[in-house]
Amino acid sequence: MARLRAVNHIGLMALLSGLFMVLALPATRAAAASVPARGAVPRVWNAKLYHAILRKIHAPTFPHRYFNVMKYGAKADGKTDCELAFNHAIHACHAAGGGTVVVPKGTYVCNGPITLLSNVNFHLNGGSQINFGYNPGDYLTGKGSLKGCVLVRYEGVWCYNYSPLIYAFRQTNVAVTGLGTFNAQRNNPDSTWIHWYDSQQKLKWKDRLINWAYSDQLTAMRKRIFGTGWHLMPEFCDFERCHNILVRDVTFTNTPFWTIHPCFSTNVIIEGVTVYNHVKNMDDGIDVDSCDDTLIQNCSIRNDDDNIVIKSGRNADAWSVNGGRPSENIIIRHNWLSHDIGFGSEMSGGIKNVFELDNEFGASANIIYMKWGGERGGYIKHIYIRGITADSVRCLTQPAIAWAGGYSLPDAGFVPKISDWAISDVHINRIESAGAAAIALVNLDPSPIEHVVLRNITIGSVGAKSPFVWLKNAGQIHFEHVVIAGQTIQQLHVVATCRGQAVMLTWKPYPKAVRYVIYLGRKKIIKIQGGKTDHAELQWSDSKYSGGYIGLGAVLTNGAVVMRQDVKWPVAQLPDMKHLSVLLTQAQTILKQVVKPEPVVPMHYTPRQRAISHLYYCVHCAKLVLGNSTATPANVRVVDKMLSDAMRALRK
């Protein structure tokens, strides 16, 4: 296993200030006010919070009792079904007060799920391998009227489906450890899972799943049953609503769906794990989903989808008023990866306080990938990333480091808040690109990406047609010592870019008096001269980029430049906010008189609870629009109607 090289760091702490973009101000005044004071550049690492999180995370301990699966009927012959033997050993260990279930060296077959219980460490000795069967009926182990299904959160939505191959629900002190291998056999030509990946698209299960998550639906849990006939592949290793989880040293390969999925859980440690999947798509390595206090370290992951990704549920199903919760206090360090560390797109419960430190990438499709949609709600904030090394990034269509807002349904009304990011000490040897930018901060939703620091980033080479940076609806973006293809920008602070037009930047140093020339696309738009530049404005227009201006800050030294581009609506198109403000006041008055739905899972909503939930987030959306000077008349009309309809539904 490749191990990480040491990376020298600057001792920095993160303090990202909050200044919301106000596009109505004159460009020069806003630009001058927004330039960081000399010596007051935002810091990029919060050491105090980082160490506080580490102190809270601890591995579970187990009594010195050992239960050999051979004594319960298991045979390491590669033929005998050992599912009952494994689960009988687990039950015996649990009943005795806890300990370790030992799987000796050899090859085992398991036609059904391994169900973990509290105070049990399921341990695979070196040289052991468990091959899971792929008959779907073997994974319908639930009881009651659920058609054999168990409760899972599938792509961010609570539902009942086939049991994961390794499953724990509401357990405390559980572990999967050892030097053995779990093989789900999705790559086997006879495997059901490899055929389901194609057929499930035709069954439109995803449309059904997503519709359950919308605020005006929130289908009762008793109706959210998939299982037989729907072809939703089970997850590999799933911990639902557990406390004190340890996954250490084992290997997972050929997963049907997401590989390791801690969900609604606390105090999670995943370390020294190897994940190897090469099975088309939907084979994520580690999905941290609405978890608190999580440490992922020293893992080696190679698969076709996200290697490590932070999630917190989909749409209204995951909002706090409906029982959702954020993913927070997460540390990801010292891992070797073949693909990105991602955020979203299921992030409606919120994501905050995530630290990534000293992670190494091989030949990757991209490095950091943030994605969200306009129907999600929620937030992603206080993210600290430091010490990334990568050999090559083959981002034919996606940037190496990308914020992608509007990933699905832009302008759907429940706009996420994306702010307070710091990325530092990044080294990428080369980017093999067909035109994608090296770095992109792009948001198609109304609310801008804000307060981002990019410091000490070196990218050796990029594609011949690739811009260095692509900005769209982003503000308060600070670049410091960013070197791309041998060209250095010492300091660049972007106050704001509008939502309607992309700003694609490259830069080249010029000798003597002219310090930098900055390009918009391939057009030279700014020259920074001498040691100091006072107030200045540059108007431009062409067929592709028109109707804006760039303002330079008051005192620009060391190559610093503040850019600004405004959208000015014609007088006849100015949005009417008065009626929406009145509706918002009425809605807030109504909500003071009702009781929030209980935050429970499973969620058995009454029609009234669904109406209250929907009104809460129509109010949230109205506040966003009223506070955003980039809101269009169409935005206002849509939210006005949503709020009116929501109040009408609740009155009924």
CATH number, domain with residue 478:
2.160.20.10
How would residue 94 be classed by pLDDT, with cut points 50, 70 and 90? very high
pLDDT mean across residues, the chain: 78
Range of the domain at 544: 120-564
Mean pLDDT on 118-141 = 97
Q: Is residue 193 part of a domain?
A: yes
Sign of the alpha-carbon dihedral angle for 514, 516, 522, 523? negative
Helix 578-592 to helix 607-626 angle, to the nearest 10 degrees?
A: 140
Domain termination site, one of 507, 529, 564: 564
pLDDT at 296 over 80: yes
pLDDT at 87 over 60: yes
The least confident of 265-269, 366-370, 464-468 is: 464-468
How would residue 537 be classed by pLDDT, with cut points 50, 70 and 90? very low
Domain termination site, one of 504, 533, 564: 564
Mean pLDDT on 522-528 = 51
Contact of 207 with 230, CB cutoff 8 Å: no
pLDDT at 334 over 50: yes
Mean pLDDT on 572-578 = 58
Mean pLDDT on 499-506 = 65
How would residue 578 be classed by pLDDT, with cut points 50, 70 and 90? confident
Residue 524: predicted pLDDT: 54
Residue 220: predicted pLDDT: 79
In sequence order, what E strands does 377-448 have? Answer: 379-393, 401-405, 417-431, 439-443
The least confident of 370-384, 432-446, 530-544, 582-596 is: 530-544
Q: Is residue 34 part of a domain?
A: no
Sequence-distant (≥ 6) Cβ neighbours of residue 303 within 8 angstroms: 255, 259, 275, 276, 277, 278, 279, 283, 284, 285, 338, 339
pLDDT at 371 over 70: yes
Mean pLDDT on 402-414 = 67
**% residues pLDDT > 90 (the chain):** 41
Instruction: Tell me the range of 184-198, 499-513, 543-557 where mean pLDDT is highest.
Output: 184-198
- The reply to whether 625 and 547 lie within a common domain is no
pLDDT at 69 over 90: yes
DSSP conformation letters of 301-361: EE-SS-SEEEE-B-GGGGSGGGT---EEEEEEES-EESS-EEE-SSBTT-EEEEEEEEEEE
Q: Is residue 631 part of a domain?
A: yes
How would residue 80 be classed by pLDDT, with cut points 50, 70 and 90? very high
What pTM was computed for the model?
0.79
Residue 566: predicted pLDDT: 37
pLDDT at 570 over 90: no
- The reply to whether 313 and 167 lie within a common domain is yes
Q: In this structure, what DSSP letter does residue 398 have?
A: S
Mean pLDDT on 540-547 = 34
How would residue 165 be classed by pLDDT, with cut points 50, 70 and 90? very high
The least confident of 83-92, 117-126, 620-629 is: 620-629
Residue 545: predicted pLDDT: 35
Q: 66-95: buried (b, 16+ CB within 10 Å) or exposed (e) per residue?
A: ebebeebebbbeeeebbbebbbbbbbbbbe
- The reply to whether 484 and 581 lie within a common domain is no
Mean pLDDT on 543-553 = 35
Q: What is the CATH number of the domain that holds 606?
A: 1.20.1270.90
- The reply to whether 274 and 409 lie within a common domain is yes
CB burial of residue 262 (10 Å; 0-12, 13-18, 19+)? buried
- The reply to whether 634 and 613 lie within a common domain is yes
- The reply to whether 598 and 532 lie within a common domain is no
Residue 383: predicted pLDDT: 96
If one counts the domains in the chain, the total is 2
- The reply to whether 411 and 360 lie within a common domain is yes
Mean pLDDT on 257-282 = 92
Residue 29: predicted pLDDT: 26
Q: Is residue 552 part of a domain?
A: yes
Q: Is residue 75 part of a domain?
A: no
438-473: pLDDT as tens digits: 898 888 777 788 899 999 999 998 877 777 888 877
Instruction: Tell me the range of 11-20, 40-49, 595-604 where mean pLDDT is highest.
Output: 40-49
Q: Is residue 79 part of a domain?
A: no
Higher-confidence position of 180 and 608: 180
Contact of 335 with 302, CB cutoff 8 Å: no
- The reply to whether 452 and 551 lie within a common domain is yes
- The reply to whether 313 and 395 lie within a common domain is yes
Domain termination site, one of 544, 564, 584: 564
Mean pLDDT on 226-236 = 90
- The reply to whether 484 and 620 lie within a common domain is no
How would residue 594 be classed by pLDDT, with cut points 50, 70 and 90? confident
- The reply to whether 405 and 483 lie within a common domain is yes
pLDDT at 433 over 90: no
183-202: pLDDT as tens digits: 999 988 888 988 887 666 55
Q: Is residue 510 part of a domain?
A: yes
Q: Is residue 496 part of a domain?
A: yes
- The reply to whether 461 and 480 lie within a common domain is yes
